[in-house]
Amino acid sequence: MEPKGIPLISGFSKLTRKERIEILNKLINQNEDLLPWLDSWMHPDAGQQATFQKFSENYITSFHIPFGVVPNMVINGRHYMVPMVIEESSVIAAAARSAKFWSCRGGFRAEILGTERKGQIHLTWSGHPQRLRDRFEGLTQDMLAATALTTRKMKERGGGITGIRLVDKTAAIPGYYQVDVSFETADAMGANFINTCLEEMAAVLERELSHYQEEGKVEIIMSILSNYTPGSLIRCSVECDIQELSGISGKLSPEEFARKFELASRIAGVDVSRAVTHNKGIYNGVDAVVLATGNDWRAVEACGHAFASAGGSYSSLSEAKISGNRFSYTLNLPIALGTVGGLTKSHPQAALALSILGNPGAGELMMIAAAAGLANNFSAVTALITSGIQQGHMKMHLPNILKQLNATPQEEQSIRAHFEGKQVSHAAVELFVNNLRNQHG
């Protein structure tokens, strides 16, 4: 059956950019040619533009997202300006509020609990499991030797393959096994390095086991890194005397604030619907740093959400505690980042983000991203248990509403004056603008 909509296209990637845009023009029935408008979002410098458009196939233009910085982020006694790339208007403001608050209360304390990366060779074996175990024992050295050239440079940087084991998964799928390989990748994300090593090892396994057809048949299904990296873990926390929370507790006493905060944290610990939103607030900060520094935020998110479910049901990644007169808030974040390779240097703005951070190593960047996540999460929960989220959120969202309503500079001035200290909502601003426009004919 023919799919609905426009006819299927073959060879789209072979078309020139102009030809692709002509197709889009027809698709959206635009009277005006999209081309000059799309051109206006491209980089004016031809060299820079060439760099950006190489990042993806079927390029038509660049998509802009704000790049901002969060000042006053004190992590392990050091002051950072943290770059963030994010489209949600309140995220940087929320992180900055939290960063400033904690900067005079000891700052964020972060530690690296591990930096292990993982990869897997997925295979089937038709013979007796013991035969495979015996053969595998004898083959591990050959498999490692096959990666010698690939791992040489990584070893010089302190990385390499740190473990290799055969995992029997036949209870889940008959005949299914995994070779589980652990890696250290120094400051690199290491995706290409890991995948190359795995494919080199899988080739040895396939070749050597095929000599023992009478014992069983081997089939390599796939070799790929795992984005689940619970062994690459950051713990980040903030802590202060409960009385010191008065700076942020609004109308609540510091004790009431701490009690309500701890309860909000427990709710996120036991209820999946709340936990997902709570963790989304963490990833507001984490993703913004990950994106700014040219890292893979899909991998970071996928890993974090799996980790949040490791106890059997999805739960919160952060936890508040009250112990005597002390309030603490801790985030355990599995995160694998790199500061060399990938986009980290080839994207000029990612390179700038890293230099704003003082060109950290991967572990340091992981701690910074975790601190940003905790900062955003702390601000979000603080707002939720005090003023409510909409007051601050809608205030930050006001420019978007003004744009949607095509407000003139004079109207903007009147709107800002009118809504000072008042609850902002799209409906209320629209009503106010309509009244203004009716008054002025």
Catalytic residues: 88, 280, 296, 393
Contacts by 74-79 with C-beta closer than 8 Å and gap 24+? Answer: 74/99, 74/102, 74/103, 74/106, 74/107, 74/108, 75/107, 75/108, 75/109, 75/110, 75/236, 75/367, 75/368, 75/371, 76/107, 76/108, 76/109, 76/110, 76/367, 77/107, 79/103
380 binding ligand MEV? (CB under 6 A): yes
Q: Which stretch binds ligand MEV (CB under 6 A): 146-154, 316-324, 360-368, 379-387?
A: 379-387
88 binding ligand MEV? (CB under 6 A): yes
100 binding ligand MEV? (CB under 6 A): no
In the complex, minimum distance from the CB of residue 280 to ligand MEV, in angstroms, rounded to a whole number: 5
Token pair listed for 240? 């202060």
Token pair listed for 162? 């740190």
Give residue number: closest CB to ligand MEV.
281
**Position among 389, 396, 428, 436 found at the interface with ligand MEV (CB under 6 A):** 389
Q: Which stretch binds ligand MEV (CB under 6 A): 18-26, 70-78, 163-171, 378-386?
A: 378-386
- By CB neighbour count within 10 A (0-12 exposed, 13-18 middle, 19+ buried), where does 182 fall? middle
115 binding ligand MEV? (CB under 6 A): no
118 binding ligand MEV? (CB under 6 A): no
The answer to whether the CB of 316 falls within 8 A of the CB of 380 is: no
Cα(83)–Cα(274) distance, rounded to whole angstroms? 28
- Within its chain, how far is the Cα of 53 from the centroid? 22
Q: Which stretch binds ligand MEV (CB under 6 A): 43-51, 146-154, 275-283, 297-305?
A: 275-283
**Position among 109, 118, 278, 395 found at the interface with ligand MEV (CB under 6 A):** 278
Binding mask 198-237 for ligand MEV (x = CB under 6 A): ----------------------------------------
Q: Which stretch binds ligand MEV (CB under 6 A): 170-178, 296-304, 376-384, 412-420?
A: 376-384
Cα(10)–Cα(26) distance, rounded to whole angstroms? 17
Q: Which stretch binds ligand MEV (CB under 6 A): 3-11, 188-196, 280-288, 429-437?
A: 280-288
Binding mask 392-421 for ligand MEV (x = CB under 6 A): ------------------------------
| Count of chain residues binding ligand MEV (CB under 6 A) | 10
Angle value at C-alpha 116, between 110 and 117, nearest 5 degrees = 125
Closest CA to 367 of 67, 161, 80, 117: 80
H/E stretch holding 78 reads: strand 78-85
Using CA atoms, how far residue 417 sits from 18, 35, 69, 393, in Å, is: 46, 40, 28, 18
Buried-exposed string 124-154: b where 16+ CB fall within 10 A, e elsewhere: bbebeeeebeebbeebbeebbebbeebbeeb
284 binding ligand MEV? (CB under 6 A): yes
Binding mask 30-69 for ligand MEV (x = CB under 6 A): ----------------------------------------
381 binding ligand MEV? (CB under 6 A): yes
Q: Kindly tell me which of 82 and 381 has the beta carbon lying closer to ligand MEV.
A: 381
Q: Kindly tell me which of 273 and 435 has the beta carbon lying closer to ligand MEV.
A: 273
Cβ atoms within 10 A of the Cβ of 33, count?
12
240 DSSP 8-state letter: E
Q: Which residues bind ligand MEV (CB under 6 A)?
A: 88, 277-278, 280-281, 284, 380-381, 384, 389
